[in-house]
Amino acid sequence: MDVFLSSAQLLPFIAASVLLTLAPGPDNLLVLGLGMARGRRQGVAFGLGCAAGCLNHTALAALGVGALIVASELAFGALRVAGGVYLVWLGIQAIRHAAPADAGRMAVPADSCARLFRRGLLANAINPKVVLFFLAFLPQFVQAERGDAAWQIVQLGIVFTVQAALVFALIGAFAGALGERLARRPGLSAWLDRAAGGLFLLLGLRLLSGR
């Protein structure tokens, strides 16, 4: 039994993972919107949290728990509702606490990066669509002849998490830099916060609707 992934597995997997991570989707949009609203550090922190949430889905896929969740209509529905409600709550909070026009970025609390990391992690970890994605995507790169499929899935999930962290960090940094330039205009900072909150609300309601 081979302990580690082969280059024949790893290179195509990394290429496919990067392309899929860059493709427009809920996580990218959330990182982009939050980075523009709050700044580079906050956008990167939220993006790293979203990437870290992939470790949860990796564990579920390796243990077979994810397949059980998908097979159970009740469990999958409960996870979908929890994820949707959480995103809606994040959206409402962002809109309620939008920075005043004259406050600028200094209104963001000093510990907001740690809090945003946790929020990104939770938002990704309880997203049932990501559970489905990992169950469908990771096994495609498992080679039965190499032995222990669960261990291969763990390695693939870790690789996916690392590349997602890099991609989301870059998106968060880019969005933050752009948002900081836009927020120099009076009153725009609060509207960026509201736009990010609206995006969270939209994605949360979409998840609750089952789309």
What pLDDT, on the 0 to 100 scale, is given for residue 107?
47
Asked if residue 104 lies in contact with residue 189, where contact means CB atoms within 8 angstroms, the answer is yes
More confident call, 64 vs 17: 17
Average pLDDT, the chain: 83
What integer pLDDT is reported at residue 38 of this predicted model? 83
Cα(205)–Cα(135) distance, rounded to whole angstroms?
24
Query: Is 20 domain-assigned?
Result: no
Give the pLDDT confidence score for residue 55 in this predicted structure: 94
The radius of gyration of the chain's CA atoms, rounded to the nearest angstrom, is 18
Chain Cα centroid distance, residue 86: 13
Alpha helices in 39-127 (DSSP H): 40-52, 54-63, 65-71, 73-96, 112-125
Domain that holds residue 176: 25-208
Identify the pLDDT of residue 6: 87
At residue 106, does pLDDT exceed 50? Answer: no
Residue 203 is assigned to a structural domain of this protein: yes
pTM for the full model? 0.79
Has residue 7 been placed in a domain? no
Q: Is residue 161 part of a domain?
A: yes
Across 86-113, average pLDDT:
65
Is 172 inside a domain boundary? yes
Write out pLDDT tens, residues 77-97. Answer: 887 888 888 888 888 887 876
Select the highest-mean-pLDDT range: 25-29, 47-51, 74-78, 109-113.
Answer: 47-51
- Number of domains the chain contains: 1
Confirm whether 14 is domain-assigned: no
pLDDT greater than 60 at residue 102? no
Largest Cα–Cα distance in the chain?
63
User: What are 1-15's pLDDT values in tens digits?
Assistant: 567 888 889 999 999
Average pLDDT over residues 12-35: 88
Contact assessment for residue 126 and residue 86, using Cβ atoms and an 8 Å cutoff:
yes
